[in-house]
Amino acid sequence: MTRLAIVRQKYNPAGGAERFVSRALSALSQDGALEVSLIARKWEKVAGIHALTVDPFYLGNVWRDWGFARAARRAWLREGYDLVQSHERIPGCSIYRAGDGVHAAWLEHRRRALSGFKRLSLAINPYHRYVCRAERAMFVDAALKLVICNAHLVKREIQRHFGLPDEKFAVVYNGVDTDAFHPRLKIEHRAAMRRQWKIPEAAPTLLYVGSGFERKGVERALRAIAPLAGVHLVVVGRDKHAVRYQRLAEALGVASRVRFAGAQNEVKPFYGMADAFVLPTLYDPFPNVCVEALASGLPLFTSDSCGASELVRPGENGWVVDALDVEDLTAAIQVWLARESQWPALAEAARATAEPLTLSAMARQLTELYRRFL
């Protein structure tokens, strides 16, 4: 039996990174091929997985990440695990799951959206400098055998920055529950949700879901719909600066067409009320919300710096624009509006795109990868 350790500072079974591997690990554990342990600072109980708490004292985010990395590596060396899969940037792991993308690439995208002074502040920020050093040390470490990416975008970025060969990569898209996220959500929820949120039944409605409004493009979505009379936008998610975006909607004259719904425990009814999904994110390796939207039959408006753009066939199941090009996003939405008679076909194409990306298919792919090392 192979002993595998999974490393994650804060392990939440409902989190995107954790859901990504849970099914494969469960299958391998059940057939006796794998004994799974968890190394984490904080964790929620996971059936069948032994947890090892590593929680060194820290002050500040640099010390936090450095201290955890140092303590986690000591723990896995002491325990003598056969394989170590890290979700954190820690040199010496066997497998790295690059769910957060490449920090060096994120900084490149971030600089595009900043003024000169803020660019300088970004460059000298000690946390970013630490993460970039840790990232490079991990990718060039001889112990690293496999990098699991959730998009080809991430693979290309790692190769561009660190030069790893193709054989060290596997690309596995995030899976989605295609039964829970389904076009029938429109039948179940559209009328009631539109009454609840006071959106006319026939009004073209875009949905945004996510936290981190600045990075994920809420401002750009607001500006994009401003010249499009009658288009509504529903924003689902929490952000500490939400009031700033509400004021922007008022300044743009679109407040009557925008609903800020805040964080929601159940998002499926919102997919059911919408006609399309918008996420003009500055950088996102592969957001789960995009495949949830496609599975729900919503065409997708996103950016070319989003891994989910790899699923988009422009004009068939969505549109892809530059993250900072608001005019291009407006133009894409205008094209969609002009093709209202074809919306059922767009919805069918969106659903068909997501149908192969089931959770069981993702688990099978991961299981095959793990068996290579068992």
Query: How far apart are the C-alpha atoms of 357 and 151, rounded to whole Å?
Result: 13
Which pair of tokens denotes residue 338? 């002009």
| 32 pLDDT higher than 90 | no
Query: How far apart are the C-alpha atoms of 374 and 47, rounded to whole Å?
Result: 22
Mean pLDDT of 331-349: 98
Tell me what pLDDT residue 17 has: 59
Q: Number of folded domains in the chain?
A: 2
pLDDT tens digits, one per residue of 153-163:
999 999 999 99
Asked if 206 and 102 sit in the same domain, the reply is no
Mean pLDDT of 322-350: 98
Tell me what pLDDT residue 165 has: 96
Asked if 26 and 133 sit in the same domain, the reply is yes
| 14 pLDDT higher than 60 | no
| 84 pLDDT higher than 60 | yes
Asked if 284 and 300 sit in the same domain, the reply is yes
Query: What CATH number does the domain containing 81 carry?
Result: 3.40.50.2000
pTM (two decimals) = 0.91
Mean pLDDT of 32-37: 76
Asked if 45 and 160 sit in the same domain, the reply is yes
pLDDT tens digits, one per residue of 44-76:
776 667 888 999 999 999 999 999 999 999 999
Give me the chain's average pLDDT, please: 91
Asked if 249 and 283 sit in the same domain, the reply is yes
Q: With residue 4 as reference, give the H or E element that holds it.
A: strand 2-7
Asked if 42 and 111 sit in the same domain, the reply is yes
Asked if 55 and 14 sit in the same domain, the reply is yes
Asked if 166 and 22 sit in the same domain, the reply is yes
Helices (H), ranges, the chain: 16-30, 61-79, 103-112, 116-124, 126-140, 152-162, 184-196, 213-216, 218-225, 242-252, 268-273, 288-295, 326-338, 343-354, 359-371
Asked if 238 and 152 sit in the same domain, the reply is no
Asked if 112 and 259 sit in the same domain, the reply is no
Q: Which of 370, 372, 363 is nearest to 172 (CA)?
A: 363
Using pLDDT thresholds of 50, 70 and 90, give the confidence band for residue 35. Answer: confident
Asked if 223 and 335 sit in the same domain, the reply is yes
| 345 pLDDT higher than 60 | yes
Q: Return the C-alpha torsion angle 14, 317, 101, 235, nearest 10.
A: -60
Asked if 197 and 156 sit in the same domain, the reply is no
Mean pLDDT of 326-346: 98
Q: Which of 345, 273, 342, 354 is nearest to 311 (CA)?
A: 354
Q: Which domain holds residue 98?
A: 2-175+359-371
